[in-house]
């Protein structure tokens, strides 16, 4: 697939995915959603990558929402299809076996904030702003916002943000737990890369299984404790674990990757 709305750059084992519609403040339309789905389901080779960074083009916006022009004159069925497609794509990001970090440079609103929340971690520049303003349009969030926002900041705060459509600062987002770090905009990507490189020094299988287990906590059809026991057994019997345990006992740094 030819990427027309997303820039992809892979360097030092890190894939930088940039939503590139700066004139529309990187608003997500159907083409962007299709390209994201293709990247995470068909194109990116997770075994050869340390992690993925998702960001927005320019200095004003990460993603300032969904492209509202695509919502005009839709019926219920069409609306359901748009939402379900978004769920499928964002779920594929959330279930990615390597760390996915949202590097939020400016507005992270509506469908853009839902994209950020589907990532495993979120760091933001000082000028970042966050919100779910869908009720201003007589809409509800359609890409998982009513579910993931509660998971990240709790029911009370999520309910207030969803019902008031208030926009909050990076500082407030950090206080709420929506993000984990605030940095100056010029250092945002470097901070994201540093975090991925830190994680990549750990066992790749253990990282993948940990992501799976954390996601299982929110899966109503999964028994997280049973799955944890199974994955613990899997990892403890792996070559990766043998290397990690031996390195600990020999008081040396474990070598999990060829480039470690």
CA–CA separation, 164 and 23 (whole Å)? 27
CA–CA separation, 22 and 34 (whole Å)? 18
Exposed (0-12), middle (13-18) or buried (19+): which is 158, by Cβ within 10 Å? Answer: buried
Catalytic one of 35, 94, 114, 240: 114
Q: Is 134 a catalytic residue?
A: yes
Contact between 90 and 114 under an 8 Å Cβ cutoff? The reply is yes
Q: Which residue has the tokens 């990558």?
A: 49
Contact between 39 and 86 under an 8 Å Cβ cutoff? The reply is no
Catalytic one of 2, 35, 94, 134: 134
Tokens of 137: 């349009």
Comparing C-alpha atoms, which of 109, 101, 105, 112 is closest to residue 126?
105
What's the distance, Cα to Cα, between the start and end of the chain in Å? 33
Q: Which residue has the tokens 């994209």?
A: 115
SS3 string, 123-137, reads EEECCCEEECCHHHH
Strands in the chain per DSSP E: 6-11, 14-19, 51-56, 61-63, 100-104, 107-109, 121-125, 129-131, 168-169, 181-183
Catalytic site positions: 114, 134
């Amino acid at each position: 697939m030819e990427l027309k709305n997303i820039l992809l750059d892979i360097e030092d084992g890190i894939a930088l995915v940039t939503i590139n519609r700066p004139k529309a403040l990187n608003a997500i339309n159907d083409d962007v959603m299709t390209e994201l789905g293709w990247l995470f389901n068909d194109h990116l080779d997770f075994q050869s990558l340390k992690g993925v960074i998702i960001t927005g083009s320019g200095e004003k916006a990460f993603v300032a929402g969904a492209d509202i022009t695509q919502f005009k004159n839709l019926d219920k069925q069409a609306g359901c299809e748009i939402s379900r497609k978004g769920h499928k794509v964002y779920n594929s990001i959330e279930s990615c076996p390597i760390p996915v970090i949202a590097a939020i440079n400016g507005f992270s609103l509506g469908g853009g904030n839902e994209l950020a929340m589907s990532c495993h971690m979120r760091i933001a520049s000082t000028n970042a702003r966050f919100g779910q303003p869908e009720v201003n349009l007589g809409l509800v969030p359609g890409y998982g916002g009513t579910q993931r926002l509660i998971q990240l900041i709790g029911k009370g705060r999520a309910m207030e943000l969803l019902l008031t459509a208030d926009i909050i600062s990076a500082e407030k987002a950090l206080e709420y737990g929506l993000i984990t770090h605030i940095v100056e905009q010029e250092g945002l990507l470097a901070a994201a890369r540093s975090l991925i490189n830190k994680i990549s020094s750990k066992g790749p299988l253990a990282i993948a299984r940990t992501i799976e287990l954390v996601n299982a906590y929110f899966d109503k059809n999964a028994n997280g404790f049973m799955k944890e026991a199974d994955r613990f057994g899997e990892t403890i019997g792996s070559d990766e674990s043998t290397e990690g345990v031996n390195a600990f006992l020999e008081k040396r740094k474990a070598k999990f990757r060829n480039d470690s």
